[in-house]
Amino acid sequence: MPKLKTHKGAASRFKITGTGKIMRTQGPKSHLRSAKSKRLRARLDKMTELSPADRKRISRLIPNGVK
């Protein structure tokens, strides 16, 4: 059997936690950041959990659980 390859684009965008959750970064972070409130900027800096609908698809792209 050939080795499973990690999709490097997905590996850089998603991180897998120790408990197995797939985390992603938030969206509109860089454009017009000074116009956004301090509370919103702080919230956008944190990573959020991936939705259950996308979890199976992304976990196929990161087969070895790249951390």
17-53 core/surface letters (b: 16 or more CB in 10 A; e: else)? eeeeebeeeeeeeeeeeeeeeeeeeeebeeeeebeee
Domains, the chain, in order of start with CATH, read 8-61 (4.10.410.60)
Q: Which two tokens stand for residue 2?
A: 């050939």
Contact 23, 47 (CB under 8 A): yes
Chain segment 10-57, per-residue pLDDT in tens = 999 999 999 989 999 998 888 898 999 999 999 999 999 999 999 999
Q: What angle do CA 44, 50, 53 make, to 5 degrees?
A: 140
| pTM (two decimals) | 0.78
